[in-house]
């Protein structure tokens, strides 16, 4: 898959999580209906265009693990893979 987001948009692959019950049963991520809040950056745009015509530099780069606002991303399925697209302003932090 080759995507090039525009402006300050970011394409993210959501991080899957498995929960284990007290009795040891593994619950796959499909059981949990909550929207993801973490992911790995797959592609970034060139940056937001400022009023003076220049572009703001993107702080986020491909490969970064990020935390973002729960209900901000748009969900898409491209080439059979689910991806999230969100604005750089919806990113809360980069995990190090």
Domains with residue ranges and CATH for the chain: 9-95 (2.30.33.40)
The structure tokens listed for 76 are 């898409």
Q: Over the stretch 41-81, which tens digit does the pLDDT of each residue have?
A: 999 999 999 999 999 999 999 999 999 988 889 999 888 88
Predicted TM-score (pTM) of this structure: 0.76
* Percent of the chain's residues with pLDDT above 70: 78
Assess whether pLDDT exceeds 90 at residue 28.
no
- The residue ranges of DSSP E strands in the chain, in sequence order, are 9-14, 19-20, 26-27, 38-44, 65-68, 74-78, 81-87, 91-95
The pLDDT value recorded for residue 72 is 83
Nearest Cα neighbor of 15 from 34, 38, 32, 35 is: 38
Q: What is the mean pLDDT of the chain?
A: 85
The pLDDT value recorded for residue 71 is 85
Please tell me whether residue 27 adopts helix, strand or coil conformation: strand
């Amino acid at each position: 898959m080759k995507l090039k987001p525009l402006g300050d948009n970011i394409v993210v692959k959501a991080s899957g999580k498995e929960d284990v019950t007290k009795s040891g049963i593994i619950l796959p991520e499909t059981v949990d209906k909550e929207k993801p809040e973490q992911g790995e950056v797959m592609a970034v745009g060139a940056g937001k265009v400022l009023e003076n015509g220049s572009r703001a530099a993107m702080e986020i780069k491909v490969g970064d693990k990020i935390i973002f606002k729960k209900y901000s991303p748009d969900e898409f399925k491209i080439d059979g893979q689910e991806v999230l697209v969100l604005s750089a302003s919806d990113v809360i932090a980069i995990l190090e």
